């Protein structure tokens, strides 16, 4: 049978332009032109500040990947109104098309100019500069020590494509014992469209902030009474963490790993042997004395895995040995850098170490890459940026071992088919490494997984195995983390999903909404059935009207709301509303249970009902 006649297309609809291409926002390091713009804009800002606030002393003003900042020593705090005035002053400077010119000066001339302007911070900067000493003038009235590059004149800066974003505290040279400064952050782009897109992404990032979502959904908190940087997992967040851990453990068992559990503290001599006390002391909590021995909270799990390996004689036939641990570590972070779950003082690493033969490196790295992809893809991360870091100038180990290890990493990446960048000399002093960044839903890249070869700890702890010829040989040690830490990954994942977690991961999968008291017994019966089937379900017992029950459930981002009235109770069913697919209609309990179990077993994004 013929269908209805199609609606005529209006001329207006026919001429509607195609959607415009997405606005690209390159990083400063990716764009020579943006580097010049942002570097120049920081000078323009500093000039405007000193015109408005003559007592303000300047320090440093570098570019960032999305903008620029400048640190000032000013007697009074900058306010929001001050930022508006500074921006107006910057626009005036831009419109004057003032030239930015490079001038090479002697050290004596530079010192004389700095003293004439009473800029004490510039004197300290000058002490650390090598010849030749250059400065950039901005018109005839302002200059700063600088190596460039800059635009030719301020008219090349777009007055409609920059913004002053915020003021924050900072310490001179990043040292808490030195002067406290004020840092003004700004952003600058080539076009107003780029600026608008940058602002949109910032607003989106704010909407996705894991700290706000964690509070709104009652997942975790950081309690001042207990101490900064220490995470309290609430029941809903703890349920999610358990789901993540269980999936992680099962994936590791299937990947040929065994699990370890190791102590949280150890005698301080262990940290001396490992080298952490020499190279990592500033990030470690202080020791504690017990029975006339000093113990240290662990900042790393690796020395414990090394001791486990050394607990008995090993044969080459045992290798590779793959051990993994969800090990909680403790590191001192400065108060100013802690940030929600992203930077804390106590966190759980998804740590693993592989002890293998030199000829097994490529195969083992490939297995790690496969496992990394399997785990990250389960949380909908599929776009990666890979960096291979090679031997630095200061390093330990024979050239032959470094070459073999680096080649093993290269071979594994090529066998995997992943594109990668080489960071020449960016490896640790004890071995080359692979770093993996993941891209989230709004295009941000997050450092996540690390694969690190280590020639240092096997040497320090004199690890060995009995080779085929009966000699003792050093094993190759591979450090590896996929999440990095559970806390940080949970924060990244939460912002990626904006708190709208997939069905299999949601702390509360189904919320039952009984419309009247009469259907409460049926709701209790259905809750028991869902719970017995492994579905995380609750009943809203507030007694609110249906509209409010639904709104509350949606605010808590519950994947499925099940409305229960007299009709549903009679039919042994529920009227389902899905966050992902909308109204699913009346569904039998049998179909609901089957769909929920299927979604959980397949770690599906939603709940499919036919």
At which residue do the structure tokens 């942002």 appear?
38
Q: Which of 507, 429, 457 is nearest to 244 (CA)?
A: 507
Strand 293-297 versus strand 321-330 pairing type: unpaired
Structure-derived torsion over alpha carbons of residues 578, 584, 586, 587, reported in degrees to the nearest 10 = -80
Tell me how far apart the alpha carbons of residues 81 and 109 are, in angstroms, rounded to a whole number: 37
Tell me how far apart the alpha carbons of residues 102 and 45 are, in angstroms, rounded to a whole number: 18
Strand 288-290 versus strand 265-267 pairing type: unpaired
451 touches 472 (CB < 8 A): no
Q: Which of 482, 434, 474 is nearest to 456 (CA)?
A: 474
Residues pairing with 185 in the sheet: 69, 166
Catalytic annotation, residues: 302, 331, 349, 351, 353, 433, 479
Contacts of 521 (CB under 8 A, 6+ apart): none
Tell me how far apart the alpha carbons of residues 415 and 366 are, in angstroms, rounded to a whole number: 7
* Longest Cα–Cα distance in the chain: 94
> How many helices (H) and strands (E) in the chain?
19, 27
The stretches of 147-229 forming alpha helices (DSSP H) are 192-207, 210-216
Count how many residues are written for the chain: 610
Structure-derived torsion over alpha carbons of residues 439, 443, 444, 447, reported in degrees to the nearest 10 = 10
> What does the H/E/C string look like for 368-408?
HHHHHHHHHHHCCCCCEEEEEECCCCCCCCCHHHHHHHHHH
């Amino acid at each position: 049978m013929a269908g209805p006649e199609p609606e005529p297309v209006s001329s207006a609809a026919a001429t509607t332009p195609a959607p415009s291409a997405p606005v690209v926002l390159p990083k400063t390091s990716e764009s020579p032109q943006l580097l010049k713009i942002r570097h120049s804009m920081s000078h323009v800002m500093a000039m405007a500040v000193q015109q408005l606030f003559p007592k303000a002393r300047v320090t440093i003003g570098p570019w960032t990947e999305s903008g620029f900042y400048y640190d000032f020593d000013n007697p009074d705090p900058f306010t929001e109104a001050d930022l508006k005035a500074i921006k107006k002053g910057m626009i005036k400077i831009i419109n004057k098309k003032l030239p930015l010119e490079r001038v090479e000066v002697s050290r004596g001339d530079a010192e004389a100019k700095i003293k004439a302007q009473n800029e004490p911070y510039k004197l300290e900067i000058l002490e650390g500069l090598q010849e030749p000493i250059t400065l950039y003038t901005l018109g005839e009235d302002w200059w700063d020590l600088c190596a460039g590059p800059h635009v030719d004149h301020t008219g090349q800066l777009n007055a409609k494509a920059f913004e002053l974003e915020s003021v924050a505290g900072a310490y001179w040279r990043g040292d808490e014992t030195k002067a406290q400064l004020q840092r003004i952050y700004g952003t600058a782009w080539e076009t107003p469209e780029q600026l608008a897109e940058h602002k949109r992404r910032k607003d989106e990032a704010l909407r996705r902030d894991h700290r706000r979502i964690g509070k709104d959904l009652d997942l975790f908190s950081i309690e001042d009474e207990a101490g900064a940087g220490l995470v309290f997992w609430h029941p809903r967040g703890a349920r999610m963490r358990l789901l993540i851990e269980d999936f992680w453990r099962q994936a590791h068992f299937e990947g040929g790993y065994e699990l370890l559990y190791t102590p949280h503290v150890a005698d301080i001599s262990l940290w001396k042997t490992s080298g952490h006390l020499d190279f990592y002391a500033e990030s470690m909590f202080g020791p504690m004395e017990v029975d006339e021995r000093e113990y240290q909270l662990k900042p790393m799990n690796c020395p414990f895995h090394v001791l486990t390996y050394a607990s008995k004689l090993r044969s080459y036939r045992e290798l590779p040995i793959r051990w993994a641990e969800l090990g909680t570590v403790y590191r001192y972070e400065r108060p100013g850098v802690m940030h929600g779950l992203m930077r804390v003082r106590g966190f759980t690493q998804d740590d693993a170490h592989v002890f293998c033969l030199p000829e097994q490196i490529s195969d083992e790295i490939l297995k790690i890459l496969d496992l990394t992809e399997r785990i990250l893809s389960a949380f909908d991360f599929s776009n990666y940026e890979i960096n291979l870091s090679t031997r630095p100038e200061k390093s330990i180990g024979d050239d032959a071992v470094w070459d073999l290890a680096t080649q093993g990493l290269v071979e594994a990446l090529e066998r995997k088919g992943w594109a990668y960048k080489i960071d020449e000399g960016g490896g640790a002093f004890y071995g080359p490494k692979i770093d993996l960044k993941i891209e989230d839903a709004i295009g941000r890249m997050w450092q996540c997984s690390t694969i690190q070869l280590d020639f240092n700890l096997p040497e320090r702890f004199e690890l060995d195995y009995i080779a085929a010829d009966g000699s003792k040989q050093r094993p190759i040690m591979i450090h590896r983390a996929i999440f990095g830490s559970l806390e940080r990954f949970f924060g990244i994942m939460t912002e990626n999903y904006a708190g709208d977690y997939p069905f299999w991961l949601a702390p509360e999968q189904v919320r039952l909404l009984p419309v009247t008291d009469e259907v409460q017994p049926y709701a209790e019966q259905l809750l028991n059935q869902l719970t017995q089937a492994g579905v995380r379900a609750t009943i809203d017992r507030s007694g609110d009207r249906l509209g409010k029950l639904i709104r509350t459930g949606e605010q808590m981002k519950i994947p499925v709301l099940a409305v229960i009235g007299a009709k549903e109770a009679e039919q042994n069913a529920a009227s389902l509303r899905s966050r992902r697919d909308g109204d699913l209609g009346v569904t039998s309990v049998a179909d609901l249970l089957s769909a929920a179990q299927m979604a959980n077993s397949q770690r599906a994004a939603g709940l499919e009902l036919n």
